[in-house]
Amino acid sequence: MTTRPHVVIIGAGFGGLSAAQALARAPADVTVVDRENHHLFQPLLYQVATAGLSAADIASPIRSILRRQKNTSVLLAEACAVDLANKRVVVDCGALAYDFLVLAAGATARYFDHPEWREWAPPMKSLDDAIEVRRRVLLAFESAERELDPARRRELLQFTVIGGGPTGVELAGAIAELARALARDFRHADPRTAQIHLLEAGPRILSMFDDDLAARGLEQLHELGVNVFTHAVVVEVDAHGVTLEGGGHIASATTIWTAGVEPAPITRTLGVTLEGGRVPVEHDLSIVGHPDAFAIGDVASFKPRVEDGAASKPLPGLAPVAIQEGRAVGKAILATIRGKPRAPFRYVDKGIMATIGRSRAIAQLERLHLSGFVAWLAWLVVHIVMLIGFRNRVVVLFTWAWSYLTYRRGARLITGLDHAPSGVPARPYTCEDALARA
Amino acid sequence: MTTRPHVVIIGAGFGGLSAAQALARAPADVTVVDRENHHLFQPLLYQVATAGLSAADIASPIRSILRRQKNTSVLLAEACAVDLANKRVVVDCGALAYDFLVLAAGATARYFDHPEWREWAPPMKSLDDAIEVRRRVLLAFESAERELDPARRRELLQFTVIGGGPTGVELAGAIAELARALARDFRHADPRTAQIHLLEAGPRILSMFDDDLAARGLEQLHELGVNVFTHAVVVEVDAHGVTLEGGGHIASATTIWTAGVEPAPITRTLGVTLEGGRVPVEHDLSIVGHPDAFAIGDVASFKPRVEDGAASKPLPGLAPVAIQEGRAVGKAILATIRGKPRAPFRYVDKGIMATIGRSRAIAQLERLHLSGFVAWLAWLVVHIVMLIGFRNRVVVLFTWAWSYLTYRRGARLITGLDHAPSGVPARPYTCEDALARA
């Protein structure tokens, strides 16, 4: 090892960023590689998808966050493969040799064996995803307003969210509230007649929460008029809706996928036997057999020790897990550089929360269970505090206050009408056709 | 005519919107047709392109602006052709019969006889255009940071703006300031070495301003380090830069086009002899020979009467012109419905302004010429007041204050990396190539 070791961090999500920040004053050169130029505050992504916040409000340039860390450089590039044996990362524009590796590449949407469903049920993982969902949701209302056939108009006002986890619940609730916010803006199609369906394949939604809170969440969704289906296993998704196991069909023009994630594909290049797709790690978060390479966050399968009082199932893919793991890995690398032993990682569970809409939320903080307005206030404070950047905090807080008081949505922007990236055609009609008819 | 006449307004820019608002209490049904769902505050478009503001900050949903006008509906559709004889507008999804027409379709970028230049020198007319320019500008800095070849790195840090009107000047100044704002964020390529070139085909920039102010504008651009070329006639644009008449070549990886506009193509469907591409109108802004069809803003060629003390050249394509024309047409339609005569339109020139950067601007208000900080303050107040929507005003004002104090840019977002709409490849390298090399 040279006097200044090189730490390569793949991914600037919650885990990668917290690892980088823990190495701020380390006697090491740090390179953060990410395929996007921004760190994304994923917990608020659904608000961009439903026109509550602007994209820039929940994204901060990675460079900007790390600009004071003189030992750290940021590379906008896609990490393609890790060569653990030779301590090298292949990136799209070349290769990086490392002394320490932090694999924090996160997760992508998982469509099981149906990649073709993505076209009609886009995912909700990146900012581009959220902008595409926003485009589709807002366009559905626009198309309904323009539609003369009542049956087709009804179909255009049906929205289906697949997946009853926090993202699906928050998104379904936010679409229901968006429909209300739009009420006065349309003349022909009434947004209040919109139907929002939430499909969960398992026996109940919000399965990571205790029964009582999940039931409160369900109640709050019902108050917003969301139709919740459990045991709803999707067997087909197309332009006209979703077909369920057993033959049920939900006719809906707009479908969104939040039903599953899987670790980033780079994990499959490690040559390590994965556990449920995730990389098995030691108690110091290093990859089994590779003490200088760590995996954290959604790509890692970390099982708390039984003596730490936890079950043997791996920690879930949550922001606090990634943040704490990133910090621990930063410390472990520092310890190793200084020739000291590493402390085993211990996760401190601070609880989980989900918001269902205006003044509605659930929060599970150890044995303290909150719901309704109090939980919503707690959710609000935690998310403002966690958000990166003073400007973003002020703008988000102001935008929330404004939306709360006016019942309006500030970012109802349809972009990319002329070059829709995929799927649902942005401009269903053309002038050529219209002029041929005329 | 039925008891409630139907007014069709094509375009919800400054002109169309002001016409619609003037008809708020008219005994008429109003339909506003626009191909986008938002009204765009074009004067601040360059700030979106240079990461100063978010897209949603300068765009408001047309429906939202007009939601209290119960007699008005908004149609998201492309207007394809006008049939003046049969009083009908063909739109992409059908046709609209009208009693009164307001053609306010605005202008598009004009590439003279070189549509192929658009790929390498995108225009700056729509929000999608601005987001694409932002993507290219930010990516140029990212690519320079990643580039090892010094010659190519230099080329990546060269930016060329074609067109020395207010948009070109404001954009060039803003790119120069963006480069300074990025200084501390990069480790390998120094953004402060970026070169910004502004090309003007005519003898001087800002030709709509008086000589002394245009000279001040030029001075302020020089202070920011922008290289200004006049008599610079472009004969070729490609991935590597711009070739000028006479053989000069500017090597630059990023080029933006602000050099010319032309009225929207729908003007060519009218069957009217156009004047410089624009629709000749009477003194009441009606299209010659069609008293119930009006043309306003960038599509109209309105020549003030000589007795109003003006020259015989048509009014320029400015927001105040479109706004005043829209209001006048609304009044003219109301007068006609009430069986009263129409007043001829008189333009009240309130002056023109352009901003060149932080504390730098020029303003020409009749005989009062301002420049520097005072002009910049005046510019700031006018633009905040003109912006539509309380939320947008507060967020823009806060963002400007924050940028002014911190020298930072809040919306440095690269979106659409995986599905770039056109031209410059967003991801120049691929994992396939990298893995094949490795």
Question: What digits encode the pLDDT tens for the residues B186-205?
Answer: 999 999 999 999 999 999 99
The predicted structure's pLDDT at residue B407: 87
Q: Cα dist. A155→A147, A149, A222, A242 in Å?
A: 11, 10, 21, 12
Q: Is A427 on the interface with B (CB under 8 A)?
A: yes
Q: Do A390 and B412 touch (CB under 8 A)?
A: no
pLDDT beyond 50 at A303: yes
pLDDT beyond 70 at B308: no
Beta partners for residue B82, in sequence order: B89
Residue in B188, B390, B429 closest to A73 by CB: B188
Q: Is A125 on the interface with B (CB under 8 A)?
A: no
Q: Is A76 on the interface with B (CB under 8 A)?
A: yes
How close are the terminal C-alpha atoms of chain A, in Å? 76
Per-residue pLDDT tens digits for B154-188? 999 999 999 999 999 999 999 999 999 999 999 99
Per-residue pLDDT tens digits for A160-218? 999 999 999 999 999 999 999 999 999 999 999 999 999 999 999 999 999 999 999 99
Contacts of residue B391, Cβ cutoff 8 Å, sequence gap at least 6 = A398, A399, A402, A408, A410
Per-residue pLDDT tens digits for A208-249? 999 999 999 999 999 999 999 999 999 999 999 999 999 999
Report the gap between the CA of A254 and the closest CA in chain B (Å). Answer: 18
Q: Between these two residues, A426 and A56, which has the higher pLDDT value?
A: A56
The predicted structure's pLDDT at residue B433: 86
pLDDT beyond 80 at A282: yes
Per-residue pLDDT tens digits for A15-67? 999 999 999 999 999 999 999 999 999 999 999 999 999 999 999 999 999 99
Are the CB atoms for A130 and A120 separated by under 8 Å? no
The predicted structure's pLDDT at residue A331: 98
Per-residue pLDDT tens digits for B9-32? 999 999 999 999 999 999 999 999
Which of these is catalytic: A145, A155, A170, A325?
A: A170
Residue in B36, B94, B431 closest to A80 by CB: B431
User: Is residue A4 very low, low, confident or very high in pLDDT (cuts 50, 70, 90)?
Assistant: very high
> What's the rounded Cα separation, in Å, for the pair B179 and B388?
29
Residue in A68, A81, A398 closest to B435 by CB: A81
Are the CB atoms for A279 and A301 separated by under 8 Å? yes
Q: Do B128 and A419 touch (CB under 8 A)?
A: yes
Q: Is A137 on the interface with B (CB under 8 A)?
A: no
Are the CB atoms for B46 and B170 separated by under 8 Å? yes
Q: Is A77 on the interface with B (CB under 8 A)?
A: yes
Using a CB-CB distance cutoff of 8 angstroms, which residues of chain B are in contact with residue A38? Answer: 412-414
Are the CB atoms for B140 and B158 separated by under 8 Å? no
Q: Is B78 on the interface with A (CB under 8 A)?
A: yes
pLDDT beyond 90 at B310: no
Contacts of residue B265, Cβ cutoff 8 Å, sequence gap at least 6 = B108
Beta partners for residue A393, in sequence order: none
Size of interface A-B (CB pairs under 8 A): 206
Query: Which tokens hold the place of B61?
Result: 């949903």
Per-residue pLDDT tens digits for B70-87? 999 999 999 999 999 999
Closest CA to A229 of A241, A215, A218, A216: A218
Residue A45 amino acid letter:
L
The predicted structure's pLDDT at residue B419: 66
Closest CA to B47 of B35, B60, B39, B56: B56
* Residue ranges of E strands in B50-130: 59-61, 72-76, 79-83, 88-91, 94-97, 100-103, 107-109
Chain A nearest-CA residue for B416: A128
Are the CB atoms for A345 and A283 separated by under 8 Å? yes
Q: Is B435 on the interface with A (CB under 8 A)?
A: yes
Q: Between these two residues, A198 and B420, which has the higher pLDDT value?
A: A198
Using a CB-CB distance cutoff of 8 angstroms, which residues of chain B are in contact with residue A75? Answer: 145-146
The torsion angles phi and psi of B271, rounded to 5 degrees, stand at 75, 25
Residue in A80, A93, A417 closest to B36 by CB: A417
Contacts of residue A413, Cβ cutoff 8 Å, sequence gap at least 6 = A51, A54, A134, A138, B37, B38, B55, B56, B59, B61, B127
Region A97-122: mean pLDDT is: 96
Report the gap between the CA of A267 and the closest CA in chain B (Å). Answer: 14
Q: How many CB atoms lie within 10 A of CB B149?
A: 9
Q: Do A54 and B56 touch (CB under 8 A)?
A: yes
Using a CB-CB distance cutoff of 8 angstroms, which residues of chain B are in contact with residue A127? Answer: 413, 415
Per-residue pLDDT tens digits for B286-307? 999 999 999 999 999 999 877 6
Per-residue pLDDT tens digits for B106-149? 999 999 999 999 999 999 999 999 999 999 999 999 999 999 89
Q: Is B248 on the interface with A (CB under 8 A)?
A: no
| Chain A interface mutation, best of B29, B86, B91, B92, highest count of A Cβ atoms under 10 Å | B92
Using a CB-CB distance cutoff of 8 angstroms, which residues of chain A are in contact with residue B125? Answer: none
Q: Is A243 on the interface with B (CB under 8 A)?
A: no
The predicted structure's pLDDT at residue B93: 87
Residue in B67, B414, B435 closest to A37 by CB: B414
The predicted structure's pLDDT at residue A421: 58
ipTM of the complex, rounded to two decimals: 0.92
Which of these is catalytic: B155, B170, B177, B325?
A: B170
The predicted structure's pLDDT at residue B421: 58
Report the gap between the CA of A195 and the closest CA in chain B (Å). Answer: 21
Q: Is B394 on the interface with A (CB under 8 A)?
A: yes
Q: Is A178 on the interface with B (CB under 8 A)?
A: no
Using a CB-CB distance cutoff of 8 angstroms, which residues of chain B are in contact with residue A68? Answer: 184
pLDDT beyond 70 at B1: no
Coil, strand or helix: which one is B286?
strand
pLDDT beyond 80 at B215: yes
Active site residue B223: no
Contacts of residue A160, Cβ cutoff 8 Å, sequence gap at least 6 = A121, A196, A197, A198, A199, A241, A242, A250, A252, A254, A255, A256
Residue with tokens 């009062």: B368
